[in-house]
A and B are shown apart, each in its own frame.
Chain A
Amino acid sequence: MSETNGNGKLYKLDNVSRVFRVGSQEVRAVDAIDLDIDRGEFVAVQGPSGSGKSTLLQLLGALDKPTGGSLSFDGRELTKLGQGDLTKVRSRDIGFIFQTFNLIPTLTAEENVELAMVPIGLNRGKRRARGTDLLEQVGLASRSKHLPSKLSGGEQQRVAIARALANEPRVLLADEPTGNLDSQTADEVVAILRKLSAERDVTVVLVTHADEVAQRASRRLRMRDGKLLDQPAPGLS
């Protein structure tokens, strides 16, 4: 870990592949990617549909395991961890933001934020306090008792950001966070993401189609057919 801290690398991907088998066919969703992501970076991943962006994000988020290569997160080799440990990594170190917000429809805004604090064992008081604080920071203090169905798309995504930050993660992984939002709201959401990640020293990896969103990233990666275009994988002829 000290080594990782030393050179500021949060992620280190070596020849990472994720191959799906559909019948007799192999689909190389992520194909031999080498990639380092530093702490505090705001990385945008772009690419057409089916290029493997979301799969890469899931590998980074410990939701899925590579079928090849090595993937080190914060000095830990994720490919060697079991499901239980991966769950722990997700609960402690990773925050997810989805295109479709993925709020639990039966829970209020503040309950949705609290949801992410349940696995880390925070007591009710601390959960409430942190939830209120986060909703304030995303500008939704007055909407904390509302169900998702009573919130606008932008508001829902801000609740999702608050939820993603609730476990004080090292990295925020956002999959098309502005995909379902109009451009003005998208700007607001990206602004919030930038602000909070900067304040909290949280690394952000953001998958997006939108150039205007990608432009606000500190680094832009492009993917096609499972490969990173800007950083050709070694050995690729």
Chain B
Amino acid sequence: MFQFGYVFNELRRRLGRTILTALGLAAGVGLVIGIIGVSQGLDQAQAKVLAPLSSIGTDVLVTRVVGASSNGSSATPTPAASAQTDPRANRGFFFGGPGGNNNNLNVADINALASENSNVTTDLSKLGKPGTKFTHDFFLSATLLSFPDQALSQVAKLPGVVSATPGLTLLAEHQTGTVPQITAELKTGGDTITQNINIAPPSASEQAAIDACLAKRRAAGGSGGFGGPNPSASPGSGGGDFRGGFQSCLPERFRNFRAQFRTPLRTIQQVVNPPQTDIKTTSYNVAGVDPASPRAGLVTTDQLTAGKWLTAGQPNQILVANSYANKNKLKVGSTITINGTTFTVVGLVNPTLTGSTSDIYFPLSTLQKMSSKTGRVTQILVKTSSASNVDAVAKEIQKLLPGAQVVTTKSLAAQVTGSLGDAKKLASRLGGALGVIVLAAAFIIAILLTLSSVAKRVREIGTLRAIGWSKSRVVRQVLAETVGIGVFGGVVGVGIGYAAALAVGAFSPALTATTNGVPNIGSSSFAQQIGLQSSTTTSTVSLHAPVHPTTLLLGIGFAIVGGLLAGAIGGWRAARLAPAEALRNVG
């Protein structure tokens, strides 16, 4: 088609104008692509920080937290549940949850908590004979309470639930040391107690009785003198028989006396030397995941960075988080021994569930056995059939399991501070406006340049009209030229935008985000009461500006629209030129 060649020649042979107009559009398009990229990057960063659940194929996370309350600091549970359901109704394993507006623990919670953590009360004497070395790992659930896995099957049956995956998150205490000597000897007795008793002298009647008795004895026995009744006379002079007789003549009061006395109350303090031991404790987080659920759970195959996923039926395989692996020089194939069992690292993972990332991931049943929590889990990770029924499912779960803390991806959002939040707000407030302004500026530049080009081509347009070109053909010509420039500008703009996105990626500015993580150890009201750190998590995310093919197409589309707009206005201007006037102006 001739006109196509004409357009091509116009663009090619008026390269300066073509490039200038195209660059104007390209700059606009590039900036808009950059803005879109940064905006999407912020979205991704926010998704990474705020919606950690989605990355593990989960829409709803169910936990049981001590003192979970409707105004808890972590993600807000659906308030309807606490208000409308009887927490104890036929559900023995979830209780005490809705704490109303106070942060007091109820008795049930305290008991449950004590029970959960009882297995870790270290009785050093049970670890072996004093002096022997020991290494032992204790598993405690801290404040994240476990519950029977029958809850899992109940949740799985709810309408709208696609899958319910169990998770068990525990805090492990790794202790090494020597069993200490723990004996204390206490000796008692050997005290001397002295008692002084003053006996009252015999009364006159008693003396008379004594005298009478003695006289009687004397008459009967006739033996020995007697010093008289005077008590001061030596009694010894009377000989042995007399003594017996004399005693028998004394009144009862003198022969037997009883007295009650109490030894002084004393507190014996004996310092027992504390057991001399070198026990060292290190903590790490462990989790149990279902090897049969590689796509949903506390960690999924998506987060696998090396090695492979757990094989079902292999109880001694583990996955290790990259950070833990680096710290402990572990890699795929390494082994670690825990309480006598050797585990093989089969994969390295980069877990993303903020607040619930663990260092070691065991097959669920293995961890349950090791931690004496057979049949118990701490999380249920629920996947729903569609995003629209997440809230409904969350409500159902809350109804089914009163006291459960139900967290949805959505409920985690809306609570972010830090530079990410600021950037996101800035992007959402200014990004759109900036994009529009930049595009409008680019369009205006294109329109002005096209109008200027049309003005410079008055003679050409007049000539075309004179030799029989219709208005519409002239308009089409101008339009085709500017659309051509638009396509060119779009392609260059996409290049600019892509380069800008790469630059953002290369510099990857760090953004901090303080979020309320998912319920974990230390995220309950109890935890707050005893001064554990709150559940907020500050994460740093690098900003990237991803450029999707649709964005690129959108950019080219913008440029073409800009070209069309400029062409339409330029063409309209050209069409308004009366041919005679156009030629006269030149002449």
A binds B: yes
Which A residues have a C-beta under 8 Å from some C-beta of B? 54-55, 58, 61, 63-64, 83-84, 87-88, 90-92, 94-96, 98-100, 102, 104-107, 111, 114-116, 118-120, 124, 127, 147, 163-164, 167, 175
Chain A residues whose CB sits within 8 angstroms of the CB of B465 once the complex forms: 63, 87, 90
Question: Which stretch in B1-9, B81-89, B332-340 binds the other chain?
Answer: B1-9
How far does the alpha carbon of A194 sit from the alpha carbon of B465 in the complex, in Å? 25
- Contact A111–B6 (Cβ < 8 Å): yes
Which of B5, B10, B467, B579 touches A163 (beta carbons < 8 Å)? B467
How far does the alpha carbon of A92 sit from the alpha carbon of B584 in the complex, in Å? 22
User: What 4 pairs between A and B have smallest CB-CB spacing?
Assistant: A91-B468, A64-B580, A106-B13, A119-B468
Knowing A106-B9, A106-B10, A114-B2, say if A90 contacts B468 (CB, 8 Å). yes
- Contact A98–B583 (Cβ < 8 Å): yes
How far does the alpha carbon of A61 sit from the alpha carbon of B578 in the complex, in Å? 13
- Contact A167–B468 (Cβ < 8 Å): yes
Knowing A98-B583, A119-B473, say if A106 contacts B14 (CB, 8 Å). yes
- Contact B468–A120 (Cβ < 8 Å): yes
How far does the Cβ of B149 sit from chain A's closest Cβ, in whole Å? Answer: 78
Interface size class of B (residues with CB under 8 A): 20 to 34
Chain A residues whose CB sits within 8 angstroms of the CB of B468 once the complex forms: 87-88, 90-92, 94, 116, 119-120, 167
- Contact A118–B3 (Cβ < 8 Å): yes
Which of B14, B460, B469, B579 touches A63 (beta carbons < 8 Å)? B579
How far does the Cβ of B574 sit from chain A's closest Cβ, in whole Å? Answer: 14
Chain B residues whose CB sits within 8 angstroms of the CB of A119 once the complex forms: 467-470, 473
- Contact A54–B578 (Cβ < 8 Å): no
How far does the alpha carbon of A140 sit from the alpha carbon of B460 in the complex, in Å? 22
Which B residues have a C-beta under 8 Å from some C-beta of A? 2-3, 5-6, 9-10, 12-14, 459-460, 462-471, 473, 578-580, 583-584, 586-587
Q: Which residue of A lies closest to B473 (CB)?
A: A119
Q: Which residue of B lies closest to A164 (CB)?
A: B467
Q: Besides A61-B466, A63-B583, A84-B470, 5 other CB < 8 A contacts?
A: A87-B465, A111-B2, A111-B9, A118-B3, A119-B467
Chain A residues whose CB sits within 8 angstroms of the CB of B3 once the complex forms: 118
Chain B residues whose CB sits within 8 angstroms of the CB of A105 once the complex forms: 13, 460
Q: Which residue of B lies closest to A92 (CB)?
A: B468
Knowing A91-B468, A119-B467, say if A58 contacts B583 (CB, 8 Å). yes
- Contact B467–A116 (Cβ < 8 Å): yes
How far does the alpha carbon of A9 sit from the alpha carbon of B279 in the complex, in Å? 124
Chain B residues whose CB sits within 8 angstroms of the CB of A96 once the complex forms: 463, 466-467
Q: List 24 A-B contacts (CB under 8 A).
A: A54-B584, A58-B583, A61-B466, A63-B465, A63-B579, A64-B578, A83-B471, A87-B470, A90-B465, A90-B468, A91-B468, A92-B468, A96-B463, A96-B466, A100-B586, A102-B459, A102-B460, A105-B460, A106-B12, A118-B3, A124-B2, A147-B13, A164-B467, A175-B587
